[in-house]
Amino acid sequence: MDNVLIKILKKPKLKDPILIEGLPGVGNVGKIAADYFLLKSGGIKFAEIYSKYLPPQVLINEDGTIYLVKNELYYVKRKNRRDLIILVGDYQGMSNEGQFEISYEILKFLKNFGVREIITLGGYGTGQMPEKPRVFGASTNDHFVNTFKEYGVLFGSGEPSNGIVGAAGLLIGLGMNFFEMNGICLMGETPGFYSDPKGALALLEILSKFLNEKIDTKDLEEKVKALNDITQKLSEKIEDKSKNEDLGYIG
Amino acid sequence: MDNVLIKILKKPKLKDPILIEGLPGVGNVGKIAADYFLLKSGGIKFAEIYSKYLPPQVLINEDGTIYLVKNELYYVKRKNRRDLIILVGDYQGMSNEGQFEISYEILKFLKNFGVREIITLGGYGTGQMPEKPRVFGASTNDHFVNTFKEYGVLFGSGEPSNGIVGAAGLLIGLGMNFFEMNGICLMGETPGFYSDPKGALALLEILSKFLNEKIDTKDLEEKVKALNDITQKLSEKIEDKSKNEDLGYIG
Amino acid sequence: MDNVLIKILKKPKLKDPILIEGLPGVGNVGKIAADYFLLKSGGIKFAEIYSKYLPPQVLINEDGTIYLVKNELYYVKRKNRRDLIILVGDYQGMSNEGQFEISYEILKFLKNFGVREIITLGGYGTGQMPEKPRVFGASTNDHFVNTFKEYGVLFGSGEPSNGIVGAAGLLIGLGMNFFEMNGICLMGETPGFYSDPKGALALLEILSKFLNEKIDTKDLEEKVKALNDITQKLSEKIEDKSKNEDLGYIG
Amino acid sequence: MDNVLIKILKKPKLKDPILIEGLPGVGNVGKIAADYFLLKSGGIKFAEIYSKYLPPQVLINEDGTIYLVKNELYYVKRKNRRDLIILVGDYQGMSNEGQFEISYEILKFLKNFGVREIITLGGYGTGQMPEKPRVFGASTNDHFVNTFKEYGVLFGSGEPSNGIVGAAGLLIGLGMNFFEMNGICLMGETPGFYSDPKGALALLEILSKFLNEKIDTKDLEEKVKALNDITQKLSEKIEDKSKNEDLGYIG
């Protein structure tokens, strides 16, 4: 069995496509952003990626049918602008070697479609719940650094201090070294201990500017609002409780 | 050394054979059902599967002879009905890669025998001891879902919620994607913390209907009865003890 | 880098050679026996086995020179009897795959020298300190079982109940299935928590009978005696101490 | 994807070059020494080594640009003396197999440049803070042992007792067995629980003698001095505190 099996569904002709990646990771920020963007942009699936480095597992749909865990590639054709390829999936590779193999084979495959630039989406876990999540960046070249600084992305503040682990880092790292691709990793600030739509929303704002693409973020904003409400109520409860406890001391 | 070594003992001509799999897993439900069905149907071994992804171990027979841990393929010829292939074994692959490699190579090998459909048998651990174990299903296609619903199999109730891990899932997941095979996984409800003939019996009842094959389940029923007796006695003891303790409080 | 690298030092012509293996394992019983037998029989090294599945480590000699951890093959030419090949080494493979790869490649290499029969040496850990260690056996065929029963080896008593793990099992298991070799594993009873010359001595007694080869076991017997003395003193000390404690209670 | 990817930047002609290696390890002694020596000798990078056995990670520079974790090869041309190759890097291989693969492929690559001799630099962790760190050695041949003894390196004192683990051992172990290279591992004594410039300095003193190369160690000596000052203050504080506590008992 090959390490990575790519099942090709279509062979679209794409116009200087940009790869956008969002797989599970810290706070699932990258995955939420990419899945949401895929939904709103009406991407068309053209390849499925299977690998022995993914969990040996099938997942079950509502109707009782199954699918093998996988990554997927979609394309989005755009008028008068560069086309897009979106990489999403159930899991990342489960070992060091697996992470490398899957990212490498995806890049090798996408080289055929003329991909020259990559935007990877991830989360940067701070353990804090930010009012307005910041977006941190790291890139293969100065040009991207300067461009995204203008969109408000933060660079080189020594964060994230231990680099970028997983597909979001490997795709741009392998891309720059072996596939003549440039890239940038955008990391939305997130507490990191739950799936976080807020960090994803921050990523989409940056993505929208760079792609010159209006993204309808209403549904995601509602999820953020719902999350905020829950957080609000929880913190009020905690406050109430501590007030009562204070009274207890007075009495 | 090849990752998977298949030792071919015979090359039977089979009539549109259905693969039935039961390897060690949750409550050993699948293994017990498949081993029992193999015994009663008088299957003939035609291949042994060895792999470096199985434990590096030989097992010892009663007479002091050994055998290397393996999986095995048997065939059953049936009159006026489709033939069967039964996959049983000592272990599953010991790593993610191993799970994938073994399932993939078995499917590749069985493609030569014309296998188009697969039934995998497994357990669904609930931590409860059900009066009458339910059988859950998950399939590669709607047709199987509908067929097995009529036999009483439950689908799409969101269970098992984290999908199917191991050979029972991979065989149908890889089969549908790379070998043009359809399949269904049947999961017998089981407490999950001991080898459970009761869940296996529930599987055999479904299997019997689908295969249009009377299975003599008497021996397995006796094992279930023996298990029930032990459970009964244990729970009476616990009840007695708690009664005495109650008296203690009165006195 | 190949998974297993065999460095050939000589290409001896051997007369129907028997392979004798003793690598580190339970109580190091097999290793001690094989190393000792090699020393006394004056074997000549003809191959070194290196592998990425052994620890990534060099060991240091007394004089400050190093050697990479390895397994080694020696041959012993015998008059009017079959020649011998002895397999010893610093470590076994560190993973399931590594165990398989190393054993498989050694067998493949030794097939060229006409090896048809294998004796592997190991320990059977009981947690007890036996007066006279028993030797348990498990074999690929009835013939060996019967032969070694006559030498006092115990078979099929359901021990060891979980089979034989590692090279001692794999060499005979892979040998019987893929290299037309027969074999037997001899396991000396041992406490299992220290390197045990006593179990090794028991193995050599059996080996001596089968090979029709007088083995000078004096040096090993002295080690056993030294070990017995230590054990004796320790148990006397414990006895004394408990006597004093008894007196303490009287006073 | 190949296990190890070597990206060649230049193909220098080198005069009988000696390989000097220093990668992360015990107390980072080898890494600090090699990085420092590289800096002072003005080495020129000629190859980058990437591998799926390194962590799947990119690191971030001050300016927001990234690089994939790697090992690197530099060369130093010297007048009237043998040239040098210096191997440094972010990480060692993350598994046994990875350690072997990376060292083996580097040696295979460097064979083309005529490397015959290797000096690997490492730390020997004693848990103690030595006044003047000793340097221990282990070599592939007597000649190196004798040469470095004269420089004050300690050999064969039974230390390090469990050999040398990782690249520092593998490069000379694989080199001697498969690439006709000789080598020596120099290990600077170090506490082992922090990055230790003192042990590195001790290594550089030996290296300087062997290479007949004056190394400007001023910057490293200042780091050692700074570390000594911290240690001094810490131990004074501890002393003061224990004095006060003594007074406490008197009062």
| pLDDT tens-digit series, residues D20-59 | 999 999 999 999 999 999 999 999 999 999 999 999 999 9
Question: Would you state the pLDDT for residue C230?
Answer: 87
More reliable by pLDDT, B140 or D236:
B140
Using CB atoms, which chains have 3+ pairs under 8 A with B? A, C
Q: Are strands D84-89 and D18-21 parallel, antiparallel or unpaired?
A: parallel
Q: What is the DSSP string of C21-71?
A: E--S-GGGHHHHHHHHHHHHHT-EEEEEEEETTS-SEEEE-TTSBEEE--E
Residues D81-127: tens digit of each pLDDT? 999 999 999 999 999 999 999 999 999 999 999 999 999 999 999 99
Are the Cβ atoms of B58 and C138 closer than 8 angstroms? yes
More reliable by pLDDT, D85 or D156:
D85
The distance from CA A195 to its chain's CA centroid, rounded to whole angstroms, is 12
**Which residues of chain A does D59 touch, with a Cβ-Cβ cutoff of 8 Å?**
163
Mean pLDDT, all residues of chain D: 94
Question: Would you state the pLDDT for residue D237?
Answer: 81
> Which residues make beta-bridge pairs with D219?
none
Question: Would you state the pLDDT for residue D179?
Answer: 98
Give the one of B51, B57, B64 whose C-beta lies nearest to C163's C-beta: B57
CA-based nearest residue to D51, from A173, B2, B98: A173
Q: Minimal Cα–Cα distance from B161 to chain C, Å?
A: 31
Q: Minimal Cα–Cα distance from B116 to chain C, Å?
A: 30
List the alpha helices (DSSP H) in chain C. Answer: 29-41, 96-111, 142-150, 167-178, 197-211, 218-250
Give the one of D51, D53, D60 whose C-beta lies nearest to A138's C-beta: D60
Are the Cβ atoms of A97 and D54 closer than 8 angstroms? no
- pLDDT surpassing 90 at residue C248: no
Residues A139-194: tens digit of each pLDDT? 999 999 999 999 999 998 777 778 999 999 999 999 999 999 999 999 999 999 89
Question: Would you state the pLDDT for residue C249?
Answer: 47
> Are B230 and B118 in a shared domain?
no
Q: Minimal Cα–Cα distance from B160 to chain A, Å?
A: 8
**Any B CB within 8 A of C99 CB:** yes
Question: Would you state the pLDDT for residue C218?
Answer: 97
Number of domains in chain B: 2
> Are D19 and D137 in a shared domain?
yes
Using CB atoms, which chains have 3+ pairs under 8 A with C? B, D
- pLDDT surpassing 70 at residue C123: yes
Question: Would you state the pLDDT for residue C243?
Answer: 66
> Are A116 and A171 in a shared domain?
yes
Average pLDDT over residues B67-85: 97
Q: By percentage, how much of chain A surpasses pLDDT 70? A: 95
Average pLDDT over residues C105-126: 97
Average pLDDT over residues A54-72: 96
Question: Would you state the pLDDT for residue A249?
Answer: 47
Give the one of D5, D52, D56 whose C-beta lies nearest to A166's C-beta: D56
Question: Would you state the pLDDT for residue A233?
Answer: 86
Give the one of B50, B53, B63 whose C-beta lies nearest to C97's C-beta: B53
- pLDDT surpassing 80 at residue C3: yes
Assign A243 a pLDDT band (cuts: 50, 70, 90): low
**What ipTM describes this predicted complex?**
0.91
Q: How far apart are CA A45 and CA A161, in angstroms?
A: 36
Half-sphere exposure of B45 (CA within 13 A, CB side): 14
Q: What is the DSSP letter of D177?
A: H
Range of the domain at A156: 4-216
Q: How far apart are CA B29 and CA B146, in angstroms?
A: 23
> Are B164 and B242 in a shared domain?
no
Are the Cβ atoms of B156 and A63 closer than 8 angstroms? yes
Question: Would you state the pLDDT for residue C161?
Answer: 78
**Which residues of chain D does C61 touch, with a Cβ-Cβ cutoff of 8 Å?**
156
More reliable by pLDDT, B233 or A82:
A82
**Any C CB within 8 A of D163 CB:** yes
Q: What is the DSSP letter of B161?
A: T
**Any C CB within 8 A of B227 CB:** no
Question: Would you state the pLDDT for residue A1?
Answer: 95
Question: Would you state the pLDDT for residue C156?
Answer: 86
> Are C154 and C245 in a shared domain?
no
Residues C19-64: tens digit of each pLDDT? 999 999 999 999 999 999 999 999 999 999 999 999 999 999 999 9
**Any A CB within 8 A of B160 CB:** yes
Give the one of D103, D137, D172 whose C-beta lies nearest to C64's C-beta: D137
> Are A97 and A195 in a shared domain?
yes
In angstroms, the Cα distances linking C9 to B190, B218, C101, C109, D88 are 58, 63, 21, 13, 34
Question: Would you state the pLDDT for residue B250?
Answer: 45
Question: Would you state the pLDDT for residue C236?
Answer: 82
- pLDDT surpassing 80 at residue B102: yes
**Residue in chain C lying closest to B55 (CA):** C96
Are the Cβ atoms of A60 and B101 closer than 8 angstroms? no
- pLDDT surpassing 90 at residue A84: yes
> Are A186 and A248 in a shared domain?
no
Assign A251 a pLDDT band (cuts: 50, 70, 90): very low
Mean pLDDT, all residues of chain A: 94
Q: How far apart are CA C53 and CA C96, in angstroms?
A: 9
Least confident of A13-27, B230-244, C170-184, D233-247: D233-247
For the four alpha carbons of A31, A36, A39 and A41, in that order, the dihedral sign comes to: negative
Q: How far apart are CA D93 and CA D96, in angstroms?
A: 8
Give the one of D52, D58, D64 whose C-beta lies nearest to A155's C-beta: D64
For the four alpha carbons of B243, B246, B247 and B248, in that order, the dihedral sign comes to: positive
**Any B CB within 8 A of C68 CB:** no
Are the Cβ atoms of B99 and A56 closer than 8 angstroms? yes
Average pLDDT over residues B128-152: 96
**Which residues of chain A does D7 touch, with a Cβ-Cβ cutoff of 8 Å?**
177-178
Residues A115-146: tens digit of each pLDDT? 999 999 999 999 988 999 999 999 999 999 99
Question: Would you state the pLDDT for residue A232?
Answer: 83
**Any A CB within 8 A of B100 CB:** yes
Average pLDDT over residues B146-151: 97
Residues B155-200: tens digit of each pLDDT? 987 777 789 999 999 999 999 999 999 999 999 999 998 999 999 9
Average pLDDT over residues C159-167: 88
Least confident of A246-250, B69-73, C238-242: A246-250
**Any B CB within 8 A of A68 CB:** yes
Q: How far apart are CA C104 and CA B177, in angstroms?
A: 33
Are the Cβ atoms of C93 and B56 closer than 8 angstroms? yes
Assign B18 a pLDDT band (cuts: 50, 70, 90): very high
Tokens (6 digits) for A246:
């204070």
Assign B27 a pLDDT band (cuts: 50, 70, 90): very high
Query: How many C-beta neighbours within 10 Å does residue C98 have?
Result: 22
**Any C CB within 8 A of B69 CB:** yes
Mean pLDDT, all residues of chain C: 94
**Which residues of chain C does B56 touch, with a Cβ-Cβ cutoff of 8 Å?**
93, 96, 99-100, 103, 165-166, 169-170
Give the one of D100, D103, D173 whose C-beta lies nearest to C66's C-beta: D173
Tokens (6 digits) for A80:
């008068």
Question: Would you state the pLDDT for residue C251?
Answer: 40
Question: Do B22 and B30 form a contact (C-beta atoms < 8 A)?
Answer: yes
Residues C137-158: tens digit of each pLDDT? 999 999 999 999 999 999 987 7
**Any C CB within 8 A of D177 CB:** yes
> Which residues make beta-bridge pairs with D139?
C65, D184
> Are D206 and D227 in a shared domain?
no
Q: Minimal Cα–Cα distance from C171 to chain D, Å?
A: 22
Question: Do B138 and A58 form a contact (C-beta atoms < 8 A)?
Answer: yes
**Residue in chain B lying closest to A55 (CA):** B96
> Are D209 and D136 in a shared domain?
yes
**Any C CB within 8 A of D100 CB:** yes
Question: Would you state the pLDDT for residue D236?
Answer: 82
Q: How far apart are CA B106 and CA B111, in angstroms?
A: 9
**Any C CB within 8 A of B5 CB:** yes
**Which residues of chain A does D60 touch, with a Cβ-Cβ cutoff of 8 Å?**
138, 156, 160, 163-164
> Which residues make beta-bridge pairs with D136?
D154, D187
Question: Would you state the pLDDT for residue D242?
Answer: 67
Q: By percentage, how much of chain D surpasses pLDDT 90? A: 85
> Are C146 and C212 in a shared domain?
yes
Q: Are chains C and A touching, using the cut-off of 8 Å on CB pairs and a minimum of 3 such pairs? A: no
Rounded to two decimals, what is the model's pTM?
0.93
Are the Cβ atoms of B59 and C163 closer than 8 angstroms? yes
Are the Cβ atoms of C164 and B57 closer than 8 angstroms? yes
**Which residues of chain C does B69 touch, with a Cβ-Cβ cutoff of 8 Å?**
163
What CATH number corresponds to the domain at position A36?
Answer: 3.40.50.10900
> Are A182 and A131 in a shared domain?
yes
Q: How far apart are CA C75 and CA C44, in angstroms?
A: 5
In degrees rounded to 5, what are phi and psi of residue D184? -140, 140
Give the CA diameter of chain A. Answer: 76
> Are D234 and D157 in a shared domain?
no
